[in-house]
Structure 1
Amino acid sequence: MSVQINPSVTGVILAGGQARRMGGADKGLMLYQQQPMVHYAIQAMQPQVDTLIINANRHIDQYQSFGYPVTQDSIEGFHGPLAGMLTAMEQVETDFILTAPCDCPSISKQLRQRMMETLLLTQSDVAVASDGDRLQPVFCLIPTRLKDSLNSFLEQGERKIDRWLAQHKMAEVDFSDQPETFVNFNHPEDLQQPLATKSPVPMIGFSAFSGTGKTTLLTKLLPELNKRRLRVAVIKHAHHNFDIDKPGKDSYVIREAGAQQMLIASSKMMALMEKQNSDNDPILSALLPRLDMAKLDLILVEGFKHEAIPKIELHRPSLGKPLLFRDDPHIIAIASDETLTNTAQLDTLDINDIAAMADYINHFISSWTA
């Protein structure tokens, strides 16, 4: 098989299923962390491909509202992912389609790169992702020239995707280092579970009720960490209407006049302000790419209590608030100003012993695995 040097690729988000285990609901439009699940697939796929389409068989208007073409299966009825793949291959003009399901919110940002590199290296017909244990056949890179082969397969009444793939020279692409790519939601209760937020550098959060002193602790902890030559970033959850730009300043006037993004720079400092047009709270996975990871040893997170990241709970019994760790399995330690009992063998820290807390974070960094 010969492939041109820079083959073109259409991303295809598969959202045409019946979702029986979801009670027949349209999975791509079900909300996860306040966003439709198809939103996460779009965010992951769009930067990787030349064009993007959504394959759906219901609620077409709602899918079109995302701003991408929507294709309905050319075969009537719900015939599985192969029918969506065939429809895409018949309608696009690119050399390949790259497919992914709508119900996986953590699709790899290296999906196209790894799939194409492996396919070219092995001179295969198709590339299929693997989690290290088994194939994940809805994650495919397929040349559109195989549309006649797929059409014939479906006309014979066949529906099994692995049986069609087996008819062609297939490259297995290893994503065992990114198993979260294949985490999908099949039952309504799955939508309540947070996904672990992946970061290339150590990241730990502070979780506490308002008034416990999260920000005060950070202002004391950061100088101690800096003394240890750690380069630290802080991500803080803020209230809806916060503003870091003062009224009357040139940058404020320009931004209020209509600039969607405002970048201010000097020899000492740079800041980017961007207007958000959503009422939804931000999520960490969308914020992390804005940090320059090459210049960081550690990320501290204040707020974002529902995110699945390692956290230190800050607790002051005098406030009369309950402990949080019982409802958050991601809390790994508790820092308090009093001795605590019944903490389920979690590490306990003195919230006023800043050096000891820095020691604990140093140990956390040394044991970190991305």
Structure 2
Amino acid sequence: MDGSATFPDVTLAILAGGQGTRLGGVPKGLLSVAGLTTMERLRALGSHFADMVLVANVPEPYARFGIRTVADVVKGKGAPGGVHAALGAARTPWVFAVACDMPFVTEAAARRVLDARGADVDAVCIEHEGRWEPLFAAYRAELVTRWGEALAEDPSLRRVLMSFRTKVLPEDALRAVDPELRALANVNTPEDLVRYGVVLPER
């Protein structure tokens, strides 16, 4: 663990779950913006954290980035399973989870969530347009056992979060440092490629 990190008690967890089917099946962490892949951008963000882990069931496309990688412990549960794997792999008391197709997450944006932690809080996320954003969120690593038990019911991430002491921040908390909420942007469709200036990886 890096005690000199900006967030010395937090692991950055990058979830590389989806296969990018709407983008032709590309590994979404290899999408690039301004010459850098989203994985390179998130790895740079990781320098602010004590540790970093990549959750990937198909790790081969990301081997060159040199990030410690784990697979889902409970298979076939989507993002809830990915968060569970990150909690289990954490070497710090807290995890900050992001998706591998989020190119614009910044240290300042992450800080808005991480500064909202408290002794009586298990998780922190942002509410945006009525939806909770569980892949731009902080979690106590000690939730791992109860989280794993919850997976038996195939829950949504929001449903899992509702069973813990979750602090939900209004989107204005993020707008203070990120007026266009770009940190929450993820690239799922061809329209998103155009909107955010994202380039597909070469085949």
Q: Which structure's relative contact order is higher, taking Cα pairs within 8 Å and 6+ residues apart?
A: 2
Matches within 5 A, 1:181-330: 181-194=183-196
Letter in 1 for 2:105: I
Q: Secondary structure at the match of 2:75?
A: coil
Q: Look up the equivalent residue of 1:38 and give its one-letter code.
A: M
Alignment match, 1:229: none
Asked if 2 retains the 8 angstrom alpha-carbon contact of 1:96 and 1:143, the reply is yes
Deviation at 1:133, TM superposition (A): 5.3
Q: CA deviation at 1:72?
A: 1.2
Count of residues paired in the alignment: 185
For residue 169 of structure 1, report the CA deviation from its aligned partner.
1.5
Q: Give 1:131 deviation, angstroms.
A: 4.0
CA distance in 2, matches of 1:18, 1:136: 20
* C-alpha deviation, 1:138, in angstroms: 1.2
Aligned counterpart for 1:95 among listed residues 88, 93, 96: 93
Once the two structures are TM-superposed, the CA of residue 7 in structure 1 deviates from its matched residue by 6.5
Q: Deviations over 1:163-206 (max 9, x none)?
A: 000111111232133211112211134324446xxxxxxxxxxx
Give the equivalent residue in structure 1 for 2:151. 154
- Aligned-partner Cα distance in 2 for 1:56–1:27: 11
- Does 2:35 align with 1:34? yes
Give the greater-gyration-radius structure (CA): 1
Deviation, 1:134, is: 3.9
Contact 2:27 2:61 in 1 (8 A): no
Using the alignment, how far apart are the partners of 1:169 and 1:57 within structure 2? Answer: 29
C-alpha displacement of 1:33: 3.2
Structure 2 CA distance for aligned equivalents of residues 194 and 140 of structure 1: 22
Structure 2: give runs of 5+ residues left out of the alignment.
Answer: 1-6, 198-203
Q: Partners in 2 of 1:95 and 1:85 — Cα distance?
A: 14
CA distance in 2, matches of 1:64, 1:184: 22
Write the distance in 2 (CA, Å) between the matches of 1:159 and 1:125. Answer: 18
The superposition leaves residues 214-261 of structure 1 with CA deviations (integer Å, 9 ceiling, x where unpaired) of xxxxxxxxxxxxxxxxxxxxxxxxxxxxxxxxxxxxxxxxxxxxxxxx
| Counterpart among 148, 158, 163 of residue 159 in structure 2 | 163
Contact 1:80–1:159 (Cα < 8 Å) also in 2:
no
Contact 1:99 1:139 in 2 (8 A): yes
Where does the alignment leave 5 or more consecutive residues of structure 1 unmatched? Answer: 1-5, 196-370
Using a 3 Å threshold, how does the CA distance of structure 1 residues 159 and 18 change in structure 2: closer, same or farther? farther
> More displaced, 64-73 or 23-32?
23-32
> Given the two structures, how large is their TM-score scaled by the length of structure 2?
0.80
State the SS of the aligned residue for 2:175. coil
* TM-score (norm. length: structure 1): 0.46
Aligned to 2:52: 52
| Pair 1:127-2:124 in alignment | yes
Aligned residue in 2 for 1:63: 62
Task: Report the aligned-residue RMSD.
Answer: 2.2
Indicate conservation of the 8 Å contact 1:7/1:95, yes or no.
Answer: no
